[in-house]
Structure 1
Amino acid sequence: MKTHIVIGAGQAGAHAAVSMRRAGFDGRIVLLGDELVHSYERPPLSKSFITELESERIANFFPLSHYLNEKVQVLAGVAAEAIDPAAGAVSLAFGGKIPFDKVILATGSRPRTLSVPGSDRVLTLRTFADAVQIKKAFTSGRKVVCIGAGVIGLELASAAISRGCQATVLEVGDRVMARSLDKAASRTIEAMHRDAGVEFAFGHSVVAVEPHAVVTDVGLRIPADVVVAGIGVDRNVALAQSAGVSVGKGVLTDASGRTNIDCVLAAGEVAEFYSEREGAHVVLETSRHAQMHGTLVGQVAAGQELAYDDVPWFWSDQHGANIQVAGSHRAAGSTVYRGDPLSKSFCAFYLNSQSAVVGAFGLNAGRDVSAALRLIRSGAAADPEILADITITSGKLVSAPRA
């Protein structure tokens, strides 16, 4: 009987294991996770988990009974120490080995940390245990400094405000969420945070974290009882590298999740996969990508021939508002607004030179972004007047006459 091992029990790993079984693989499936709790949703950790006053709860992708029904062997709290592709074995940290025919790396990433005096005082968010620590630290009246104005930093600032804290966001760049938003959308999100009481300091690098203050490179001292950092991630590629798997920003794969070693695949955030849509290798860090990519790679491991071509999409909840981003604004030549961009609900459609929708930003406009996703996938030209017409329902935007 063949054995397939999935290393990493996050969203990508869990879905890879289950989809492999559903795709017809009838051998042994082992899902290794180094946390003692079994696979759980990470997005709520920076949102509702911290803001809710109830006792700590986590949402699992699948109940344990589901893994039993699918005959997936879950080993929680068991870390892989090494992969030997030639011998076809995974060595475990506590001792022992598991033989394999194929292995899927779904090892994800870890939060990037500061290298300044006092950095040991800085909290980061990745795991359930991290979220519990931050939630306990966010008590009313405390001064919270969030380093980094990306999604995690802004969500934590929002959570801090909701729990009665003061919040300041420090960012080395000149605007919020610069990796995923255009300048207009960045201004919208910044204004929303300022209205809620968040303060910002742009163009500042942290040089030290003192017991009650954060010190920047221009001498600014920001009072701080709690310091949290959301300054990006480093992908967990050490296992891959030691096994001879090619690595770039992440574990390099083709469009199907296969690496340069036949018996090794990679899925989710750790994978730097080839995208036909982009014509290049890319890495993505969203929960949707982890689920969709993990599912596909599991199917490929089961013997199916598939290529990954999903449109990037993510969501964020901040100060009670829902933010959704689909595709990318970077190839856009024009922007069409559906609704008033100064209001609390609108969608910005990003069009390229052929009038095809290539991206979208929605503030409390989930249905419009869903329509944008379908338009992006189609690649067809859209009529800007129809996109802007709020009398046409979101569901009819895709079927409306094209430009």
Structure 2
Amino acid sequence: MVVVGAGECGARAVFELRDAGWTGPITLVGAEDVHPYERPPLSKAVLTGDAAPVPVRDADALREADVEFVAGVAASDIDRDRNELVLADGRRIPYERLLLATGASARRLPLFGVSYLRSQADALALRDRLRPGARVGVIGGGFIGLELAASATARGCAVTVVEAEPRLLSRAVPAEVAAVVADRHEQAGVDVRCGTGVAAVRDRGVLELTTGETLDCDVVVAGVGAVPETALAKNAGLAIDNVENGVRVDDRLRTSDPDIFAAGDCCSFPHPLYGRIRLEAWRNAHDHAVTAARNLLDADEPHTAVPWFWSDQYDLNLQIAGLPDAATSEVVRQRSDGVETRFGLGADGTLLSAAAVGTGNAVAKDVRLAEMLIAARAMPDPASLADPDTALKALLRAAKSTPQPA
């Protein structure tokens, strides 16, 4: 078994293969010359302090699992006729089954002088520049951009966020949830500019905005999404999804070649609730690793896990289960402590999403129960869903006792 990509998905997959009973050789290929590490802390704990990136599993664990780890070498081609992976240094690695967990790269802007955050090296280089008093311009008001803004603010920087859309987190959460996040950034002193684009970055970090204004910045960093790494698959003639822009796989995460699977940020896949989607999320990478590893060993299991996302900014914890933009109506549950959970329902009443923001762990339990309700294909009564005196556990019990439609 050969796995390309040593991020969350690829590194988890090699251990899942062992847990599933595979005793043959496993090779893990990573383009970065470091051991597998978690990416979520890069925009948070790694930027705000002196923390090192957290390993997915350390070198000892890889050795104990008898995994050959090839680091610092990119895969350049797949010889499908001979079932061999070709590395950039000319080496060829034979495979019985191949898993592509190549992830995604930061979307680049046609602007000079902009930094990006995707890798350990990016985070460490950026951290050195986020000194107290530094003027930081963040392009993009999505999860990464806002986590960058919060971390830079915590380091004593003066931060401006520039977002082209009318509001922050425009494609990720309901407007009311985004408003809570925006207010918290403004309370922290961040200058939030929505409905504003960046026309150019002049010499010495001067941001020229589409409004005609200019911002003097010591650091300019962009968080404007990611582009799936599909070149290896495309060059090998595998099917590529031209809409979601990922390696196209079926619900078993199998590509158009039955011996090659793809998982994580690099692939688009069919979901029973949301249709064909591509996700950029830690949880999805982890869940895909489990499904892919089992199916590499012919388990023939469909991937049906409910998407889940989180973001920590200041003292706020934002969590989303499902996909809010799939819903056609909304139900709001407001607890006595003021925390709101916004549930999204489909046209037939099926629960499709839940989003909430609060301090500490205030929202974790409700969103976790909502995730379980979504997985159960629940069609809860909207009035009961809105009533904080009706326990979500009771709705879950009712959903599990209701026969699912064929």
Q: TM-score, normalised by structure 1?
A: 0.92
Task: Establish whether residue 361 from structure 1 lines up as the match of residue 355 from structure 2.
Answer: yes
Give the distance between the partners of 2:205 and 2:250, measured in 1 at CA. Answer: 48
Aligned residue in 2 for 1:348: 342
Aligned residue in 1 for 2:107: 112
Aligned residue in 2 for 1:134: 126
Aligned residue in 2 for 1:378: 376
Task: Establish whether residue 267 from structure 1 lines up as the match of residue 259 from structure 2.
Answer: no
**Percent identical residues:** 36
Letter of the structure 2 residue corresponding to residue 317 of structure 1: D
**Matched ranges for 1:214-363 at <5 A:** 214-248=207-241, 249-279=245-275, 281-339=276-334, 343=338, 345-363=339-357
2:200 partner SS: strand
Aligned residue in 1 for 2:70: 75
| Contact 1:170-1:200 at 8 Å conserved across structures | yes
- 1:107 is displaced (CA, Å) by 0.5
Give the distance between the partners of 1:331 and 1:285, measured in 2 at CA. Answer: 17
| Contact 2:378-2:396 at 8 Å conserved across structures | no
2:251 partner SS: coil
Letter of the structure 1 residue corresponding to residue 271 of structure 2: S
Question: Greater CA deviation, 69-78 or 300-309?
Answer: 69-78
| Contact 1:350-1:358 at 8 Å conserved across structures | yes
1:330 partner SS: helix
- 1:352 is displaced (CA, Å) by 3.1
Query: Over residues 135-171 of structure 1, what are the superposed CA-to-partner deviations in whole Å (9 max), with x where a residue is unaligned?
Result: 1111111111100111000110111111111111111
Give the distance between the partners of 1:134 and 1:339, measured in 2 at CA. Answer: 39
Letter of the structure 2 residue corresponding to residue 322 of structure 1: N
Query: Over residues 35-72 of structure 1, what are the superposed CA-to-partner deviations in whole Å (9 max), with x where a residue is unaligned?
Result: 121111100110111112xx331211222222222222
Task: Establish whether residue 172 from structure 1 lines up as the match of residue 172 from structure 2.
Answer: no
Aligned residue in 1 for 2:114: 122
Task: Establish whether residue 5 from structure 1 lines up as the match of residue 2 from structure 2.
Answer: yes
| Contact 1:30-1:73 at 8 Å conserved across structures | yes
Aligned residue in 1 for 2:36: 39
Query: Over residues 186-206 of structure 1, what are the superposed CA-to-partner deviations in whole Å (9 max), with x where a residue is unaligned?
Result: 222212211221112222222
Q: Quickly say closer, same or farther: Cα 1:363–1:103, change in 2 above 3 A.
A: same
Letter of the structure 1 residue corresponding to residue 94 of structure 2: P
Q: Quickly say closer, same or farther: Cα 1:330–1:56, change in 2 above 3 A.
A: closer
- 1:319 is displaced (CA, Å) by 1.6
2:325 partner SS: coil
| Contact 2:169-2:178 at 8 Å conserved across structures | yes
| Contact 1:367-1:394 at 8 Å conserved across structures | no
Q: Quickly say closer, same or farther: Cα 1:273–1:354, change in 2 above 3 A.
A: closer
Give the distance between the partners of 2:378 and 2:87, measured in 1 at CA. Answer: 50
| Contact 1:386-1:400 at 8 Å conserved across structures | no
Give the distance between the partners of 2:38 and 2:391, measured in 1 at CA. Answer: 32
- 1:387 is displaced (CA, Å) by 3.1
Q: Quickly say closer, same or farther: Cα 1:274–1:390, change in 2 above 3 A.
A: closer
- 1:26 is displaced (CA, Å) by 2.3
Letter of the structure 2 residue corresponding to residue 266 of structure 1: A
Give the distance between the partners of 1:319 and 1:397, measured in 2 at CA. Answer: 32
Give the distance between the partners of 1:349 and 1:98, measured in 2 at CA. Answer: 48
Give the distance between the partners of 2:77 and 2:32, measured in 1 at CA. Answer: 17
Question: Greater CA deviation, 351-360 or 99-108?
Answer: 351-360
Letter of the structure 2 residue corresponding to residue 324 of structure 1: Q
| Contact 1:110-1:236 at 8 Å conserved across structures | yes
Q: Quickly say closer, same or farther: Cα 1:228–1:337, change in 2 above 3 A.
A: same
2:289 partner SS: helix
Corresponding residue to 1:209 among 197, 201, 212:
201
| Contact 1:5-1:104 at 8 Å conserved across structures | yes
| Contact 1:81-1:92 at 8 Å conserved across structures | yes
Q: Quickly say closer, same or farther: Cα 1:41–1:341, change in 2 above 3 A.
A: farther
1:317 partner SS: strand
Corresponding residue to 1:198 among 190, 199, 205:
190
Unaligned runs of 5+ residues in structure 1 are: none
Give the distance between the partners of 2:157 and 2:293, measured in 1 at CA. Answer: 43
Q: Quickly say closer, same or farther: Cα 1:137–1:9, change in 2 above 3 A.
A: same
Give the distance between the partners of 1:397 and 1:388, measured in 2 at CA. Answer: 11
1:348 partner SS: strand
Query: Over residues 95-116 of structure 1, what are the superposed CA-to-partner deviations in whole Å (9 max), with x where a residue is unaligned?
Result: 3211112211111111011113
2:319 partner SS: strand
| Contact 1:41-1:60 at 8 Å conserved across structures | yes
Query: Over residues 351-383 of structure 1, what are the superposed CA-to-partner deviations in whole Å (9 max), with x where a residue is unaligned?
Result: 334443211111131111001001111112213
| Contact 2:5-2:30 at 8 Å conserved across structures | yes
| Contact 1:204-1:216 at 8 Å conserved across structures | yes
Question: Greater CA deviation, 197-206 or 218-227?
Answer: 197-206
Question: Greater CA deviation, 239-248 or 355-364?
Answer: 355-364
Aligned residue in 2 for 1:148: 140
1:398 partner SS: helix
1:75 partner SS: strand
